[in-house]
């Protein structure tokens, strides 16, 4: 069984993340949609809120399960028998960061490969930080995020 982990901060999930999740779920037998948190990093949404919206989204995909990890993603993947880590690429700026991350991961776990999906042109401009910035200024972001995230913004207004 080909298992892949799709890790991220998902603070919050956007339609860009969803596009990658959907395509990855078509390509692999099982996807672990992983909230990977760095406890020292400031976040807009709590771990519980992020996990809730990830679980809501995962309901649409029978081969996607949601989990949480505060350690190294490569070690998590190794424990779960996942040989692939999924990431999305939006622009050249993503590439530099992801290239370095892939090299570091390969150093730690040479038998785990990172697999990159190119962002769709419709959603390539979307990032969690841009959506948060828009929402902070009262913009309607409901077409950029899944419904469960829209609801979270309404509650937090």
* Closest distance of CB 126 from ligand ADP, Å: 4
* Size of the residue set binding ligand ADP (CB under 6 A): 17
List 17, 44, 50, 87, catalytic entry:
17
Q: Tell me whether residue 41 is one of the annotated catalytic residues.
A: yes
Q: In the stretch 90-119, what mask flags binding to ligand ADP with x, by CB under 6 A?
A: x---x------------------------x
Residue 67 engages ligand ADP in binding (rule: CB under 6 A): no
Tell me the torsion sign for CA atoms 109, 74, 118, 27.
positive
* Closest distance of CB 145 from ligand ADP, Å: 11
Residue 124 engages ligand ADP in binding (rule: CB under 6 A): yes
From candidates 88, 105, 114, 149, binder to ligand ADP by CB under 6 A = 88
Angstrom distances, CA of residue 103 to CA of 2, 15, 112: 22, 28, 11
Q: Which is nearer to ligand ADP, 14 or 25 (CB)?
A: 14
Residues within the interface to ligand ADP (CB under 6 A): 8-10, 14, 16-17, 20, 87-88, 90, 94, 119, 123-124, 126-128
């Amino acid at each position: 069984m080909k298992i892949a982990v799709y890790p991220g901060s998902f603070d919050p999930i956007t339609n860009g993340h969803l596009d990658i999740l959907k395509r990855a779920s078509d390509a692999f037998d099982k996807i672990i949609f992983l909230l990977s948190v760095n406890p020292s990093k400031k976040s807009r949404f709590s771990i519980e809120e992020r996990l809730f919206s990830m679980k809501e989204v995962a309901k649409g995909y029978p081969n996607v399960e949601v989990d949480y990890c505060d350690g190294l993603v490569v070690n998590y993947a190794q424990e779960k028998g996942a040989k692939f880590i999924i990431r999305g690429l939006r622009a050249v700026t993503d590439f530099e960061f992801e290239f370095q991350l892939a090299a570091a991961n390969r150093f730690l776990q040479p038998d785990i490969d990172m697999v990159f999906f190119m962002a769709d042109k419709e959603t390539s401009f979307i990032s969690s930080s841009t959506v948060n910035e828009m929402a902070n200024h009262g913009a309607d972001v409901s077409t950029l995020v899944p419904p469960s995230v829209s609801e979270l913004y309404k509650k937090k207004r």
